[in-house]
């Protein structure tokens, strides 16, 4: 089955891309929504322009679409993006990196159902700690690109995901209820390398913006190495 992946460049959609491209299925394109709403519940926003470089490294075509990110109207934009992939790449199914968010998953399921497309969520209900450990085990290089929850602070921005970081996140879940995989929007991630990447993304220049436990690690210049 030809599949298109809803791709943000974060850990979950990148891992979902790897899992989807096997057996009966072939990933034929990536689809990215570029939301102007930094607080979108639907779409990941930090460094979304880097998806172009990631797609090159994954050797997959990328189609993208801008959205103002207004609730429900952004779903019309998403539907149009998926329809474009249907028309241009003949996708028969959509893959997402949804883990727990019923809000995201049910909205995407509805769009897929209307368009008679299959919908796959290969990380669905996966234990958060296990998900992070699997990413490290498979050789993904991931950094924290955004934070939005107490007690996360500026020192987290740009940090690489390691076993030690997973332990810290698990502790934060116990003390503060922070979801270790950032599924509640506590943090956003950026994948620099992975088992299906042809080349690693090297960051040449970045900027950190931070205030009151919210911040972004913005990549200003990067290249494939």
Q: Which of these, 1, 26, 6, 196, lies nearest to 85 by C-alpha position?
A: 6
Of 16 and 191, which CB lies nearer to other proteins in the complex structure? 16
Stretch that binds other proteins, among 50-58, 74-82, 115-123, 201-209 (CB under 8 A): 115-123
Stretch that binds other proteins, among 63-71, 81-89, 109-117, 207-215 (CB under 8 A): 109-117
Angle ∠(128,99,62) on CA atoms, nearest 5: 120
* Interface of this chain with other proteins, residues 13 to 52, rule: CB under 8 A: 19-20, 22-25
What is the size of the binding site for other proteins (CB under 8 A)? Answer: 26
Q: Which two tokens stand for residue 164?
A: 């030690």
Shortest distance in whole angstroms from residue 57 CB to other proteins: 23
Shortest distance in whole angstroms from residue 163 CB to other proteins: 23
Of 89 and 217, which CB lies nearer to other proteins in the complex structure? 89
Strand-pair partners of 5: 30, 95
For residue 129, state whether it binds other proteins (rule: CB under 8 A).
no
Shortest distance in whole angstroms from residue 125 CB to other proteins: 4
Q: Quick one: which of 1, 154, 165, 203 contacts other proteins (CB under 8 A)?
A: 1
- Distance of alpha carbon 195 from alpha carbon 18, whole angstroms: 8
Stretch that binds other proteins, among 111-119, 141-149, 164-172, 215-223 (CB under 8 A): 111-119
For residue 118, state whether it binds other proteins (rule: CB under 8 A).
yes
Q: Quick one: which of 117, 132, 178, 191 contacts other proteins (CB under 8 A)?
A: 117
Q: Which of these, 48, 47, 115, 129, lies nearest to 75 by C-alpha position?
A: 115
Shortest distance in whole angstroms from residue 179 CB to other proteins: 15
- DSSP symbol at 161: P
Q: Which of these, 166, 156, 159, lies nearest to 203 by C-alpha position?
A: 159
Burial of 24 (0-12, 13-18, 19+ CB in 10 A): exposed
Whole-number Cα distances in Å, 221 to 50, 53, 65, 202, 206: 9, 11, 22, 9, 7
Q: Which two tokens stand for residue 142?
A: 């991931």
Binding site for other proteins (CB under 8 A): 1, 19-20, 22-25, 93, 95, 102, 106, 109-110, 112-113, 116-126
């Amino acid at each position: 089955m030809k599949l298109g992946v809803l791709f943000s460049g974060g850990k979950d959609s990148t891992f979902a891309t790897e899992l989807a491209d096997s057996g009966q299925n072939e990933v034929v394109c990536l689809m990215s929504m570029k939301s102007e709403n930094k607080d979108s519940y639907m779409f990941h926003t930090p460094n979304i322009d880097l998806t172009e470089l990631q797609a090159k490294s994954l050797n997959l075509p990328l189609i993208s679409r801008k959205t103002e990110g207004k609730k429900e109207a952004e779903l019309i934009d998403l539907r149009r993006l998926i329809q474009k992939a249907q028309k241009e790449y003949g996708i028969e199914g959509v893959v997402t990196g949804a883990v727990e968010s019923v809000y995201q998953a049910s909205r995407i399921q509805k769009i897929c159902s209307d368009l008679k497309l299959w919908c796959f969520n290969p990380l669905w209900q996966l234990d958060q700690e296990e998900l992070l450990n699997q990413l490290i085990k498979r050789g993904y290089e991931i950094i924290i690109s955004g934070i939005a929850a107490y007690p996360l602070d500026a020192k987290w921005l740009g940090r690489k995901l390691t076993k030690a970081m997973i332990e810290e996140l698990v502790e934060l879940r116990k003390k503060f209820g922070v979801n270790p995989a950032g599924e509640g929007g506590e943090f956003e991630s950026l994948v620099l390398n992975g088992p299906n990447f042809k080349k690693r993304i090297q960051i040449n220049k970045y900027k950190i913006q931070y205030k009151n436990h919210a911040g972004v690690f913005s990549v200003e210049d990067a290249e494939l190495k």
